[in-house]
Amino acid sequence: MTELILALAADYGVPLLFVVTFLSCLALPVPSSLLMLASGGFAAAGDLSLPMVAIAAYCGAVIGDNLGYWIARALSERLENWLLAKPKRAALRQRAEAFMDKWGGSSVFFSCWLVAPLGPHVNYVSGLSRFSWPRFALWGAAGEVVWVSLYVGLGYAFADNITEIASLLGNLSGFLAAGVVATGLGIWLLRASKARDKKPRRRKIN
């Protein structure tokens, strides 16, 4: 796979990088991080322009983030009656909106680079919960600066060790994403358990 990505980066360069980062932000399984590292490496060798590589990756990511947000927001408007028809669905939506209002900005920012595998899903949740688009766009744009700078910069600096860097960053990002999901699930289970314990128990009638 790595050899194929390197060959594609060499043949199609900047346009391919734009398309791949765009698709990755819509949760499609494409090797965007590896391609950014490879493109940074080719820029170090003089085969690609470093500014053009950074601009293409950044623009693709930002456009993908915002398209994902608006797709989810459009679906939210169409599903409005369905979401509010049942108390549980309505309560779940209210909790999602409350979470995004409180933590949405930082969630969007860190999901762009620190826990990148969760990024596209945060985009969709932001749209479904109707999180403020200006805030989403601002925090997302800031997060993508870090993501693109990190991967393209490392590819440029360690052009001879792209495979090792890609493996290290991929494992670290996956580990952090799994930790976030596990923590969130643990909190949800704890709250559900407390809520169940608070419910009054029915007495058995002999």
pLDDT at 202: 54
Mean pLDDT within 78-91:
72
pLDDT, the chain, mean? 79
CA 31 vs CA 27, 53, 125, 136: distances in Å: 11, 15, 23, 24
Structure tokens at 196: 């169940």
Share of the chain above pLDDT 90, in %: 36
Query: Is residue 45 helix, strand or coil?
Result: coil
The count of other CB atoms within 10 Å of the CB of residue 134 is: 7
pLDDT at 60: 97
pTM of the model: 0.77
Asked if the model's pLDDT at residue 30 lies above 80, the reply is: yes
